[in-house]
Amino acid sequence: MLTREREKPVLDDEELEQLISDRIDDDPIFHLSNGRRARITVEVDDGEATLRGVVRNASDKRRADIMARALGASTVDNQLATEEENEARKRPRRVA
């Protein structure tokens, strides 16, 4: 006896973008070291999600990626930076 996999309903880009954004906003994991909520922007184009913003660490970056895929993104362009990476970009470079 063969069982058929249930297919997930396909969301349009706008619905998927809103779903991913809402889930990330609702997840208490995405708080920065200073206690503020991380600002993560989500854009979806033809099922492909792009994530931008700053998260605490690499684990949070990966969690956002997995969440977007689990919610229906076909691929994820994860451009999130960690707080450490973000601070390093802000520091002035010393010239010797």
What local confidence, expressed as pLDDT, does residue 8 receive?
55
Of the candidates 35, 44, 20, the one whose C-alpha atom is nearest the C-alpha of residue 83 is: 35
Residue 44's pLDDT band (cuts 50, 70, 90): very high
| pLDDT tens track for 68-93 | 999 999 999 999 999 888 888 877 66
CA atoms within 13 A on the CB side of 28: 0
Pick among 2.60.40, 1.10.3470, 3.40.640, 3.30.1340: CATH of 13-90: 3.30.1340
Residue 42's pLDDT band (cuts 50, 70, 90): very high
**Rama region for 28: left / alpha / beta (φ>0; ψ in -120 to 50; rest):** alpha
What local confidence, expressed as pLDDT, does residue 95 receive?
62
